[in-house]
C-alpha cells in the first residue's frame, strides 16, 4: 500500500515537474514558479561551506529543504537558514519528499557510492536531480541514474560548476572556433594536499580515490579543451602515504589519445597542490591557472588575450543556470550524459592502472 | 706506419692537452694558452647559424678550424671567418688534426649516429671534445665515447647549452636548496613543428627521432628539476605524418618515476610548438616558458620571484665556460657522463614505447 501511495504521489509530483519542463499543456494548469526549491542531501563540507552560502545569492532557486542523518545538523541548519520542519528529512523518510511541493530539485551531495541510490530515489519521488561529481563509481551506476531520471521525466544535472565558469568556457570555445588551429597537446592537473587521515575520500566502499574526486577536473580539462572523447588511455596509480591511502590511490597520472590525434597528459593527486590547464594548438597556446578553483580561475592565450572573467559565485551561477534551464524547459548545460562520459574514461583509467597496459575506450 | 705516426702525434698532442688540463709539471714546459682553438665538425644549420656566430663573441675560445665534406662550404667559411687552409679538414684527412696545434677542441656537430666515431677519433687525435646532444643513439656508444676520452686523457663535454643558462639553473637550485620543499610533480615539454620532409632527424640510421633531439630537453627539464635519476618510465610514440615519420617517432609522451616519489609527465614532438617546464613542490611551484629556447628563457615562482636572467648568447656562454674549465683544469659543467644519463633513460623510453609496458631503469 505504501508503495502504491508513493507511486501515486510520485505521479502527481511528476505532473508538477512537467510544468517546469516546459510542457505547455500542463503549464496552463499550474502556476509557474519563479524560483525552484532545492533540498540538499548530505550536509558535509561542500553543502555547508559552498552550496548553502551560494543558495543565499541565487535568483532562480533557494534553499528549501535538507536531508541529513544527523539531528544536530538538522537543528543548526533549521535555525541558520530558517528551514521549516516539514522540509527537513532524514534517510529513512527521504522518499516522502515526493509529497512536498516546496521541493523541486534534490541536490545529492553524498559520497559517490551513494549517488546512484539517492538519484534514483529522488527521480522516483518525481524531483529533478542535481548530483555532485563524480557522478558515480561505475558506468553501470551512471546509466541506471540516467535511465531512472528519463523514466520519471525529471532532469538530471551533474554539479560540474566549472563548465558554468566563463574562464573554462573560453578554452572550450577554442575547440569549437579554432582561433589557433587544431588542439595538439593538453596538460591538465588538479590536486591538493589533503591532510585528513580518515575521510570517505580515502575509502573505496564510499567511492573514494583521487581519480573521481580531483581527477575528473584534470580529465575534464582535457575533454573540454579538445571537445573530443578519448579513445585510449594509459594510467599509473600511486601513493606516498600508504598508511592513509590503503584502499584507494593518492595520485593518478594518465595519458589520453583523442580521435583527432590530440594528446593529453593529466595528473591528479591528494598529495600535491597543483591546478592548471595548458593547451598547445597548431598555432598558439592557451592556459588557465587555476583551472578549477572555486574562484579566481584565470589564464591567457599566446596572442596576448587574457582570460580573467570574474564571477560572483561559481556554485550560485551553476545552480541558477541549471534551474533556469528547468524553468525554461531548455537543455541543461551539464546533463547526466556528460557525467557518464567522464566515468567511462575513469573506468578505463582504473583498468589501465591495474593492468599496466594501454586501454582502448 | 701511418698508424704509428698518428699515434706518436697523438701522444704529442696529448702532452699539449695535458697543459690545459692543469698538469703543473707539463704546464711549466709549454706556454699556457689564453684562448682555445675550436674546430667545428659538420657545418649544418646549428654550426652555421648558432655556433659560428657565438664563436665571434667568446672570450676563452675562437673558431680555429672546420671539418666538412662539402668543398663549397669550406670555401665560404674560409672567406667569412678567415680560417687558414691548414685548419680546414674533410672526413678523410680528419685524423691529421692531431698534428695541428691550433686546434685544442673538436666540436662534433654531426648527426647523432656519427657522434661516436668522431668523438673517438677526436680523442685519439688528442683533442678535447665537445659533442652535440643527443650524445649518441645508445648507451654502448656513450660508454665507448667516455672511455675513449678517458684513455686519451682529454675532456668530453656535451653541448647542453641549457645547463649553462641561469634560468634553468634557478630551477636546478630549488632541488638542492628546497625553498618550496620536495619536488612532487614535473611537467616538461619541448617541441616544434618541423616542416622539413627529408632531414636526418627523420632517418633512423642517422640517429633521428624526436626523443633524442627535442626529447632530451623535456627529459632534462624533469631530471634537472628533481636533481634525481628516474627509476622507471612509461612511454608512447606516435606520429600524425606517417609519410614523413616513417622510421622514427614524430611525438613521444613519457612519464617518469623518481626515487623520492617525485613524478614527471613529459612531451616532445616535431609536430607541436611547445616549450615549458612546470614544477610543483610541497609548498609552491616554479615554471619556465620557454625552458630551452636559444634565448629568452624565463619564468616565475609561486612566491612571486621572477626568473628572467638575460644572457648575451647561450652557446657563447656554454663554450666559454667549458673552455675555461679546460684551461683551469676544473670540472666540466656537463661532462659525457651527464649525456650518458639521458641516453640511459632514452633507451628505456624506446623500450617502453615498443613494449607498451613500464620499464624499470
Neighbour count for residue A93 (Cβ, 10 Å): 10
**Cβ proximity of B119 and B131 under 8 Å:** yes
User: Chain B: residue nearest A283 by CA?
Assistant: B273
**Cβ proximity of B98 and B122 under 8 Å:** no
Size of interface A-B (CB pairs under 8 A): 87
With a CB cutoff of 8 Å and minimum separation 6, the contacts of A169 are: A163
Task: Determine the length of chain B.
Answer: 361
Three cell numbers, residue A305: 588575450
Q: What is the pLDDT of residue A32?
A: 77
Nearest-angstrom CA–CA distance, A320 and A330: 13
B285/A contact by beta carbon, under 8 A: yes
CA distance to A115, A127, B46, B259, per residue, from A13 (Å)? 21, 7, 75, 59
Q: Which residues pair with B188 in a beta bridge?
A: B266, B277
Q: What is the pLDDT of residue A25?
A: 43
3-state secondary structure of B307: strand
Minimal CA separation from B137 to chain A, in Å: 26
Q: What is the pLDDT of residue A3?
A: 44
Minimal CA separation from A53 to chain B, in Å: 29
Residue A36 has pLDDT above 70, yes or no: yes
pLDDT band at A30 (very low <50, low <70, confident <90, very high): low
Q: What is the pLDDT of residue A182?
A: 97
Contacts of A280 in chain B (CB under 8 A): 189, 272-274
- Across the range A23-42, mean pLDDT stands at 73
Model pLDDT for residues B215-255, shown as the tens digit of each residue: 999 999 999 999 999 999 999 999 999 999 999 999 999 99
Residue A133 has pLDDT above 90, yes or no: yes
A255/B contact by beta carbon, under 8 A: yes
Model pLDDT for residues B71-112, shown as the tens digit of each residue: 999 999 999 999 999 999 999 999 999 999 999 999 999 999
**Cβ proximity of A33 and A104 under 8 Å:** yes
HSE-up (13 A, CA, CB side) for residue B300: 5
Q: What is the pLDDT of residue A19?
A: 42
Q: What is the pLDDT of residue B15?
A: 45
Which residue segments constitute the domains of chain B, with CATH numbers given? Answer: 2-161 (3.40.50.720), 162-312+336-360 (3.30.360.10)
CB-CB: which of A191, A253, A358 is closest to B356? A358
Give the pairing type, strands A88-89 and A61-67: parallel
Give the pairing type, strands B183-193 and B263-269: parallel
B103/A contact by beta carbon, under 8 A: no
pLDDT band at B14 (very low <50, low <70, confident <90, very high): very low
Give the pairing type, strands A263-269 and A271-281: unpaired
Neighbour count for residue A243 (Cβ, 10 Å): 7
CB-CB: which of B187, B251, B261 is closest to A240? B261
Nearest-angstrom CA–CA distance, A269 and A65: 34
H-run or E-run covering B157: strand B156-158
pLDDT band at A5 (very low <50, low <70, confident <90, very high): very low
Of B20-29, B60-69, B163-172, B307-316, give the lowest mean pLDDT range.
Answer: B20-29
Closest Cα partner for A71 from A98, A89, A53, A49? A89
Minimal CA separation from B256 to chain A, in Å: 10
B357/A contact by beta carbon, under 8 A: yes
Determine whether the interchain pair A357/B357 forms a contact, defined as Cβ–Cβ distance below 8 Å: yes
Of A31-40, B114-123, B254-263, give the lowest mean pLDDT range.
Answer: A31-40
pLDDT band at B31 (very low <50, low <70, confident <90, very high): low
Minimal CA separation from B49 to chain A, in Å: 24
**Cβ proximity of A287 and A279 under 8 Å:** yes
B189/A contact by beta carbon, under 8 A: yes
Contacts of A278 in chain B (CB under 8 A): 187, 276, 278
pLDDT band at A33 (very low <50, low <70, confident <90, very high): confident
Q: What is the pLDDT of residue A31?
A: 64
Residue B1 has pLDDT above 80, yes or no: no
Three cell numbers, residue B195: 616542416
3-state secondary structure of B67: strand
Nearest-angstrom CA–CA distance, B2 and A352: 61
Model pLDDT for residues A292-333, shown as the tens digit of each residue: 999 999 999 999 999 999 999 999 999 999 999 999 999 999
A303/B contact by beta carbon, under 8 A: no
Nearest-angstrom CA–CA distance, A87 and A131: 19
B185/A contact by beta carbon, under 8 A: yes
State ipTM: 0.86
Burial of B178 per CB tally in 10 Å (0-12, 13-18, 19+):
middle
Of A117-121, A146-150, A347-351, B25-29, give the lowest mean pLDDT range.
Answer: B25-29
The mean pLDDT of chain A is: 93
Residue A224, preceding bond cis, omega within 30 degrees?
no
Q: What is the pLDDT of residue B32?
A: 77
Percentage of chain B modeled with pLDDT above 90: 91
Residue A224 has pLDDT above 80, yes or no: yes
Question: Of the listed B160, B217, B276, B281, which one is catalytic?
Answer: B217
HSE-up (13 A, CA, CB side) for residue A19: 19
3-state secondary structure of B336: helix
Residue B6 has pLDDT above 60, yes or no: no
Model pLDDT for residues A154-183, shown as the tens digit of each residue: 999 999 999 999 999 999 999 999 999 999
Q: What residues of A are labeled active site?
A: 133, 217
- Tell me which of B189, B265, B281 to substitute to probe the interface with A (most A C-beta atoms closer than 10 Å): B265
- SS3 for chain A is CHHHHHHHHHHHHHHHHHHHCCCHHHHCCCCCCCCEEEEEECCCHHHHHHHHHHCCCCCCEEEEEEECCCHHHHHHHHHHHCCCHHHEECCCCHHHHHHCCCCCEEEECCCHHHHHHHHHHHHHCCCEEEECCCCCCCHHHHHHHHHHHHHCCCCEEECCHHHHCHHHHHHHHHHHCCCCCCEEEEEEEEEEECCCCCCHHHCHHHCCCHHHHCHHHHHHHHHHHHCCCCCEEEEEEECCCCCCCCCCCCEEEEEEECCCCCEEEEEEECEEEEEEEEEEECCEEEEECCCCCCCCCCEEECCCCEECCCCCCHHHHHHHHHHHHHHHCCCCCCEHHHHHHHHHHHHHHHHHHHHCCCEEC
Amino acid at each position: 500500500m505504501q508503495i502504491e501511495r508513493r507511486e501515486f504521489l510520485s505521479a502527481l509530483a511528476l505532473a508538477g515537474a512537467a510544468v517546469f519542463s516546459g510542457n505547455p499543456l500542463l503549464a496552463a494548469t499550474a502556476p509557474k514558479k519563479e524560483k525552484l526549491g532545492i533540498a540538499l542531501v548530505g550536509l558535509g563540507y561542500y553543502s555547508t561551506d559552498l552550496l548553502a552560502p551560494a543558495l543565499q545569492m541565487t535568483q532562480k532557486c533557494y534553499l528549501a529543504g535538507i536531508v541529513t542523518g544527523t539531528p544536530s545538523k538538522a537543528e543548526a541548519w533549521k535555525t541558520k537558514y530558517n528551514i521549516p520542519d516539514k522540509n527537513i528529512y532524514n534517510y529513512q523518510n527521504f522518499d516522502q519528499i515526493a509529497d512536498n511541493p516546496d521541493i523541486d530539485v534534490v541536490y545529492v551531495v553524498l559520497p559517490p557510492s551513494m549517488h546512484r541510490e539517492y538519484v534514483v530515489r529522488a527521480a522516483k519521488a518525481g524531483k529533478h536531480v542535481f548530483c555532485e561529481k563524480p557522478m558515480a563509481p561505475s558506468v553501470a551506476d551512471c546509466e541506471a541514474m540516467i535511465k531512472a531520471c528519463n523514466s520519471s521525466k525529471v532532469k538530471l544535472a551533474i554539479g560540474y560548476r566549472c563548465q558554468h565558469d566563463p574562464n573554462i568556457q573560453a578554452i572550450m570555445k577554442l575547440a569549437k572556433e579554432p582561433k589557433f588551429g587544431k588542439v595538439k597537446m593538453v596538460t591538465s592537473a588538479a590536486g591538493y594536499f589533503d591532510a585528513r587521515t580518515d575521510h570517505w575520500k580515502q575509502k573505496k566502499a564510499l567511492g573514494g580515490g583521487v581519480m573521481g574526486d580531483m581527477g575528473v577536473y584534470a580529465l575534464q580539462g582535457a575533454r573540454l579543451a579538445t571537445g573530443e572523447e578519448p579513445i585510449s588511455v594509459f594510467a599509473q596509480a600511486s601513493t606516498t602515504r600508504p598508511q592513509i591511502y590503503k584502499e584507494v590511490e593518492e595520485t593518478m597520472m594518465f595519458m589520453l589519445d583523442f580521435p583527432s590525434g590530440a594528446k593529453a597528459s593529466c595528473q591528479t593527486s591528494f598529495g600535491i597542490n597543483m591546478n592548471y590547464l595548458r593547451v598547445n594548438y597548431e598555432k598558439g597556446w592557451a592556459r588557465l591557472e587555476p583551472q578549477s578553483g572555486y574562484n579566481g580561475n584565470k589564464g591567457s592565450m599566446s596572442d596576448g588575450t587574457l582570460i580573467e572573467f570574474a564571477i560572483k559565485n561559481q556554485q550560485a551561477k551553476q545552480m541558477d543556470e541549471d534551474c533556469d534551464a528547468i524553468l525554461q524547459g531548455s537543455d541543461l548545460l551539464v546533463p547526466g550524459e556528460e557525467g557518464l562520459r567522464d566515468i567511462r574514461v575513469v573506468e578505463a583509467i582504473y583498468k589501465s592502472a591495474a593492468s599496466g597496459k594501454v586501454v582502448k575506450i
